[in-house]
Amino acid sequence: MDKKKKSNLQNGLKGFKFKIYWLYAIIFVFFIGLQFIGTEVTKPTNWQEFNRTMLQDGKVDKVVIVNKDKAYIYIKKEFLSEEQFKKVGKKAFGDAPNLGPHFYFEIGSVETFSNDLKDAQISFDNEDKISPLYETQKDVFGDILGWILPLAFFVFIWLFIMKKMGGGAGGAGGQIFNIGKTQGKLVDKEDIKITFDDVAGLEGAKEEITEIVDFLKSPEKYTKLGGKIPRGAMLIGPPGTGKTLLAKAVAGEAKVPFFSLSGSDFVEMFVGVGASRVRDLFKQAKEKAPSIIFIDEIDAIGRARGKNAMTGSNDERENTLNQLLTEMDGFGTNSGVIVMGATNRADVLDKALTRAGRFDRQIFVDLPDLLERKAIFEVHLKPIKLAESMDVNFLSRQTPGFSGADIANVCNEAALIAARKSKNEVDKQDFIDAVDRIIGGLEKKSKIISPGEKKTIAYHEAGHATVSWMLEYASPLVKVTIVPRGKSLGAAWYLPEERQLTTTEQMLDEICAAMGGRAAEDVFFGKISTGALSDLEKVTKQAYAMVSIYGLSEKVGNISYYDSSGQQSGFTKPYSEERAQTIDKEVSRILEEQYQRAKDILIEHKDKVEKLGTELLENEVIFKDDLTKIFGDRKWKSYEEEQLIKMDQEKTESDKLAKAAKKIKAEEKKAKAAKEKETKASEESVNDKNS
């Protein structure tokens, strides 16, 4: 028992951490107590009470005027035992007698008080009369406290501000003298649990980055042949694609210390702090080599220099970048420190940063394709309690253009929706609702819409659905709704084909499908509305891209005015006014032709569109199957659809094989049990004969 108590005490002491601030607080409270509590007991009174109960009764020993503003009264010793003086007769601590002063009160002026005191003692004998004594006292402690307290307050405020600006409590940068220290978070190799198994999809990026892991694990394998270990790798890709996760997985696979920080951690209001933090970061990394430095959102400090000449360049940021360039080029090639950066703005990075010798590798982390989305879903669905009928292939085909972060959000949202409905498991409908909510926003069924507006919205969406169904290269429809979501009054969900290349015909079909909504309003109501704003914005951008970027216009020719380097100023155009007019005319021609094409398609299938619009008004939501009933099967199947059909067939075959294997296993188990039963019975019969 004693040992147990001792161990508990030791554990308690181990968890206890003394802080110097506590000592400062105790000292401060002590001095304040001395000032305000005191050791003597002196009670306030007034002139009337003093004259009536003390002076006239002859109980006053002396009166002392201190600093010409207070009168302190001393009572004779023989009267201190009386009832009225009991509270002032003894000291605050112990039973020692209080020698005074016993009472005090404020006086207006010394002359008035002296005259009043003289008048009050007119009837007294000369030997009984009291004359006031005068003293001048200085409150040294109070004076010191008077200027120490404000100073201490300002020092405290300053330290607090420095702590906040320097990187938070407890960190190396939290102290005023450590503001130039790195803000990077060090994760030791023992604490990194993420490996490549936790990173689904991104097969191309993983393959490329595996080499870096190999460099860190066995650098001598490369250096002995005269090779140099890469100094840096830049992860480039859209937000949410898993760049940070991939960097952590590299550290987890290589089992090396991992310094993680953001580009903004270098930026500070003080000149030279960013450069100082860069130096400190590389110093620490080299001490723990082999190690990885990971700078997320590196574009915060890595922007191209000299671009802000008009507004004034950020010298501090440029100094930080210069120091980073120097450090990456300055430390030894065999030091075992690899720098990894991540950004979704590679176009704005300084050319000196991305050159070979600094960031030797540029690894592109793109949005996942169909098969990669399936792998990502399988990772994020592990902790979720799914319904048996749940199909991962279905989920992967419903989320084109989704990043890894988006997929994680879909899985979480589906689980929340299922929990909200008090379900025991997450089913297919929950995932559909989750995708709808993420793309379109929350349903607003309470929004007041007039019957006329509702009819316009229904036919608008029916126009989109019809035109996209009738065009070869338009995205096939999944779902149409006229229930308001987010900012939109109606919405249509499509499954766009994930192309690597896009032809002129494909872009024209997409523009035509987007124009279908406004075209339907024109055909069926003879008037158009503002509901096509987002459609017009989309097609205008597409048309301008066709003409001025992709060179898909015969009239303008094979010319692209796109600047991939980002060096081009927005104030000047790289073409003449005549060419600008040509581009505008060509864009207008493309849009008007596709608008007329959409109208022609709708007029050709007018009865079917009306039927679709009526069904939308009745049910508010229609699906792909409803369109198939009205228009028949779609003539064209994309390569992706063929891949999806193939995936479904493979799943069906694998399910059949699994079922057959399960059946065989059950039969084998049954046969084994029967055999064991037969053997046991024969042994029992032999034993009976022997007995």
Beta bridge partners of 622: 480
Q: Which residue has the tokens 């297919």?
A: 428
3-state class (DSSP) for residue 66: strand
The terminus-to-terminus CA distance of the chain in angstroms comes to 61
- As a whole number of angstroms, the distance between CA 199 and CA 246 comes to 7
Is residue 461 part of the annotated active site? The answer reads yes
Tokens of 84: 């009225």
Single-letter amino acid, residue 15: G
- Residue 313 near residue 359 (C-beta atoms within 8 A): no
- As a whole number of angstroms, the distance between CA 678 and CA 356 comes to 76
Q: Give residue 242's region: left, alpha or beta (phi > 0; psi -120 to 50).
A: left
Task: For 240-251, give the DSSP string.
Answer: TSSHHHHHHHHH
Residues in the chain: 691
- As a whole number of angstroms, the distance between CA 106 and CA 409 comes to 74
Catalytic residue among 461, 521, 615, 640: 461
Of 315, 316, 327, the residue nearest 352 (C-alpha): 327
Tokens of 646: 């193939």
Tokens of 449: 């819409």
Q: Judging by DSSP bridges, how do beta strands 337-343 and 291-296 pair with one another? A: parallel
- As a whole number of angstroms, the distance between CA 362 and CA 351 comes to 13
**Which phi and psi (to 5°) does residue 526 adopt?**
70, 10
Tokens of 679: 């053997």
- Residue 24 near residue 82 (C-beta atoms within 8 A): no
Classify residue 433 by burial, with Cβ atoms within 10 Å: 0-12, 13-18, 19+: middle
**Sign of the CA dihedral 534, 539, 542, 543?**
negative
- Residue 41 near residue 90 (C-beta atoms within 8 A): yes
- As a whole number of angstroms, the distance between CA 518 and CA 528 comes to 6
Residue 571: partners with Cβ closer than 8 Å, 6 or more residues away: none
Residue 262: partners with Cβ closer than 8 Å, 6 or more residues away: 295, 296, 297, 300
- As a whole number of angstroms, the distance between CA 99 and CA 573 comes to 96
Of 635, 634, 609, 641, the residue nearest 622 (C-alpha): 609
Show which residues are catalytic: 461
